[in-house]
Chains A and B, each alone.
Chain A
Amino acid sequence: MSELMNEIEGIYAVWLREAKIYVREKERLISSVISPLLWIFAFGAGVGSTVNVIDGYSYQVFIYPGIAVMAVLFTSLFYGIYIIWDRKLDFLKEVLVAPVSRASVFAGKMLGGATDAMVQVIFLLIIGLFINVPLTPLVVIKAFLMLLLISIAMVSIGLVIGANLNSPEGFSLVINFVMWPMFFFSGALFPVGNLPSWLERATYVNPLTYGVDALRGIILGINHFPVYYDAAIMLLFALLAMAAGVLSFRRM
């Protein structure tokens, strides 16, 4: 029992450190709020002026769930880069020699990254209220939980990459090859149904497609697959990513 308590406190210690640093590094907070704003207002309004209404919603509202997923994707994946800096500057050593399992260290870091992403989600949900996205309290709760699941999966992927690489430059390179294909082939910016068949197949192997589909289903009622099916696939993916994360942390 005291062993378990020790692990829980270890997770809490690592998470608390991440949360404090997030609050203190204002640049992180600012940049994570500005980029989705640009997407919604510049891209959404700009493209929206030439694209017709999709499924009864303006383009800006149609891409809102996709933009929310994108914001979570970017923040979550890029969070993995901090582990490289932590190792370079030896902050992590203290944690790695502590009598706490690597699974707990991973869990603490992962929750820290998810916290970053979810702060951003709260901002996005508030913005949604002002651009006529149909958000009821129940929708907000469901959307929040779905985005949390996506964030957990993507932070884990980011940490796996970060734990296996030694340089921030290498991380940026690898993450670009993961992030952009995932984003473009997820249906975040356009409905999957209209795509040529080869592209449609690419979207089906992309786990993020199911995240976007679920969120669009929850918020706008437009979905390709049943929401529980999307959520199940995302959950499976998150579990695999976390397992890979724990293994990577053990080797670190």
Chain B
Amino acid sequence: MVIKTEGLTKKYGKITAVEGLNLEVEEGEIFGLLGPNGAGKTTLISMLCTILKPTSGRAWVNGFDVLKESGKVRKSIGIVFQAPSVDDLLTGRENLAMHNLLFGVPRGIRKQRIDEVLSIVNLEKRADDLVNTYSGGMRRRLELARGIMHHPKILFLDEPTLGLDPQTREHIWAYISDLAEKECMTVMLTTHYMEEAEQLCDRVAIIDYGKIVALDSPQTLKNKIAGDVVKIKQKVRDVETIKKLEYVKNVQEKDGLLYISIKNASKHLQDLLVHTGPIDFVEVRSGTLNDVFLYYTGREIRESEGEGGFWERVMKR
């Protein structure tokens, strides 16, 4: 067990950000925390990284108690924050050199480590330019490089691809899975991008209001809940009849539309449409984590929900 929590709780006054969380993450796993804005993902990660003190409960990272052995925890982890934290007025290489000093990388291997991580994230050519000339994706890659430079056992990534274009995002996914494999690193990441969780994570915990509502591999979660999804708009609303059908797993109603999860659309669609009566609209697609999320929380995660805007961060303080 690389990460373990027992009844981990964080309260801000009357608001409970994380509530009695029990979690175990195995070595080498890519573990995703999926949830909407304010679900408590960042709070959870901050407690594991010893940035925040839990209100109650305990947690161990790499076998060290986050409260009593925070120094050892910090040495065993790498962190990529949600908000960019590389220094604008330093070059990429200088940022990495500073990290080397702060994390006690032995003198003899510092230069080699810098070259090594720069080549992993393909930033060798721009390493000696000031970071304020970098694009968003390059900054993110630099942060990733920095996070892994001291060879942490566990890498925490808070919304690693927030605000990046799809192409850069896929590159970063590739870097992360490569790293996890090559360095045998455990990765814990938060995201509200469904594709990110689906493509990258071995297991996903869906978090809502500070609690884990579901935890499994993305495929299992989808099979269990989503299957295929039929989205319809009935002329006469009649949910009860549909719910009674044996192949229907779940029915959600949202904005006047019914989201019906069924086992096998190609087999049961005709029969389903017979039972729904006249309809205005129909759409059939394979289930996604989004449907799983909708099932557990009654809400959809929208990409626009992303946090991390400058003013949002300022207001939070």
Contacts and interface: CB of A to CB of B under 8 A. Distances in A.
Interface of A: 2, 6, 9-10, 12-13, 16-17, 20-21, 24-25, 87-100, 166
A9 B98 contact: no
B212 to A, nearest CB: 25
A95 B102 CA distance: 7
Nearest to A98: B102
A98 B74 contact: yes
Of A9, A10, A98, most buried by chain B (CB within 10 Å of CB) is: A98
A57 B83 CA distance: 56
B71 interface: yes
A118 B119 CA distance: 40
Closest 8 CB pairs of A and B: A13-B101, A98-B102, A99-B74, A90-B85, A90-B83, A6-B104, A9-B101, A99-B75
A20 B83 contact: no
Nearest to A20: B90
Contact of B50 (A9, A12, A89, A97): A97
Contact of A99 (B51, B71, B83, B87): B71
Contact of B103 (A25, A89, A92, A98): A98
Given A25-B89, A99-B75, A10 B314 contact: no
Nearest to A22: B89
Question: Which of under 10, 10 to 19, 20 to 34, or 35 or more describes the interface residues of B?
Answer: 20 to 34
Contacts of B102: 9-10, 13, 94-95, 98-100
A95 B75 CA distance: 13
B85 A91 contact: yes
Nearest to B74: A99
Contacts of A91: 85-88
B182 interface: no
Given A17-B90, A90-B313, A96-B51, 9 more contacts: A13-B101, A21-B90, A88-B313, A92-B85, A93-B83, A94-B85, A94-B86, A94-B102, A95-B102
A126 to B, nearest CB: 27
A163 to B, nearest CB: 13
A93 B83 CA distance: 10
Of A2, A12, A89, A97, most buried by chain B (CB within 10 Å of CB) is: A97
A140 B27 CA distance: 61
Nearest to B76: A99
A15 to B, nearest CB: 10
A20 B89 contact: yes
Contacts of B71: 99
Which applies to chain A's interface (DSSP): helix, strand, loop or mixed?
A: helix
B79 interface: yes
Contacts of A10: 101-102
Contacts of B317: 87-88, 166
Given A20-B89, A96-B51, A99-B104, A13 B74 contact: no
Interface in B56-99: 71-72, 74-75, 79, 81, 83-90, 94, 98-99
A16 B98 contact: yes
Nearest to B98: A13
B49 interface: yes
Contacts of B313: 88, 90
Given A25-B89, A166-B317, A94 B99 contact: yes
10 contacts: A9-B102, A87-B317, A88-B313, A89-B88, A90-B83, A90-B85, A97-B51, A98-B74, A99-B72, A99-B74
B94 A97 contact: no
A98 B75 CA distance: 8
B87 A9 contact: no
A2 B75 CA distance: 14
A96 B70 CA distance: 12
Nearest to B100: A13
Interface string B277-317: 00000000000000000000000000000000000011001
Nearest to B106: A2
A88 B314 CA distance: 6
A33 B199 CA distance: 56
Contacts of A16: 98, 101
Nearest to B46: A97
Given A9-B104, A17-B98, A24 B74 contact: no
